[in-house]
Amino acid sequence: MNKFGDRVRELREQQNLLQRQVAGKLDIDTPMLSKIERGERRAKREQVITFSEILSADQNELITLWLADRVYEIVKDEDLATDALKVAEKECEYSKKPIAKA
Amino acid sequence: MNKFGDRVRELREQQNLLQRQVAGKLDIDTPMLSKIERGERRAKREQVITFSEILSADQNELITLWLADRVYEIVKDEDLATDALKVAEKECEYSKKPIAKA
DNA sequence: TTATGACTTGTCAGATATTGACAAATATAA
DNA sequence: TTATATTTGTCAATATCTGACAAGTCATAA
């Protein structure tokens, strides 16, 4: 599973941008971008934000995919993956931050 | 969130076992066990299995809690935590291993 | 063919994080 | 006090991650 990298590549190609161009704005070299797109290396959180700006993409979408990749990495070989995710989800519900100024 | 460590401690105390006794069977020292119970250090997967044997506990329950802790660690500060978990969950459904000899 | 541009692969040292082990501190009870 | 249980802090060894670079492949064009 490499949802983040796949999406980044998709967006980049849709907009006919070269790795060189995107990498430049991220201040990384093209080998690094290539690896991020293929899921061989993981982008930093700040880079995910930058990706969304460069690619005029939905920041929330990219962060979600980026997180999902990391989560999936942990549970991917586990029979109890779904159970574990549900437990984590419940904990998220429980400890959800109150919305500021709601 | 330290569901695994909390459960281990609960089980250990229910059975009036000392850290020393449990640690011995795990081949770790008591400071290490103390840290695992309090979530300061993470148990290895093999140790989770051993915990379930020592404490006569449900192996699946402990593995699930242990995984959930690790997953939660990744998403705990994220507004999109739940979304990300749902994406990961869907991927688990999709790529679930067929049950052997079903 | 050679040349060029886009991308990928492999490597590597430096930085960072994790690990297991130990001493020492604290707590609790006799 | 003493002894026992647990926690805290530290540390070197190890493992993992990181960024950067050279060199590779692949496709297209001259």
Q: What percent of chain B has pLDDT over 90?
A: 90
- Which one of A42, A72, A95 would you mutate to disrupt binding with B, by most B Cβ within 10 Å of its Cβ? A72
- Mean pLDDT of all residues belonging to chain B: 95
Q: How far is CA B49 from CA A1, A48, B25, B54, B60, in A?
A: 27, 37, 12, 9, 9
Residue B32 burial (C-beta neighbours within 10 Å; 0-12, 13-18, 19+) = middle
B18 CA → C19 C1’, Å: 24
Q: What is the pLDDT of residue B82?
A: 97
> Cβ separation of B97 and A79 shorter than 8 Å?
yes
| CA dihedral sign, ordered A43, A61, A14, A53 | negative
Closest CA to A3 of B49, B94, B52: B94
Q: What is the pLDDT of residue B101?
A: 62
Contact A69, A41 (CB under 8 A): no
Give the span between the Cα atoms of A46 and B28, in whole angstroms: 38
Closest CA to A52 of A92, A84, A4, A13: A4
Q: What is the pLDDT of residue A101?
A: 61
Q: What percent of chain B has pLDDT over 70?
A: 96
| Rg, Å, chain B Cα set | 16
Give the span between the Cα atoms of B28 and A15, in whole angstroms: 55
Give the span between the Cα atoms of B102 and B95, in whole angstroms: 16
Q: What is the pLDDT of residue A50?
A: 97
- Nearest residue: Cα versus C1' of C21: B29
State whether residue A42 sits within 8 Å of chain B by CB.
no
Over the stretch A36-56, which tens digit does the pLDDT of each residue have? Answer: 999 999 999 999 999 999 999
Give the span between the Cα atoms of A30 and A42, in whole angstroms: 14
Q: What is the pLDDT of residue B99?
A: 76
Chain B from 15 to 34: CB within 8 A of any A CB: none
- pLDDT under 50: residue ranges of chain A: none
A21 CA → D18 C1’, Å: 22
pLDDT of B63 > 70? The answer is: yes
3-state secondary structure A27-90: CCCHHHHHHHHHCCCCCCHHHHHHHHHHCCCCHHHHHHHHHHHHHHHHHCCCCCHHHHHHHHHH
Domains of chain B are 3-76 (1.10.260.40)
Contact A54, B47 (CB under 8 A): no
Query: Predicted confidence band at B98 (pLDDT cuts at 50, 70, 90)?
Result: confident
Over the stretch B5-36, which tens digit does the pLDDT of each residue have? Answer: 999 999 999 999 999 999 999 999 999 999 99
Give the span between the Cα atoms of A71 and A65, in whole angstroms: 10
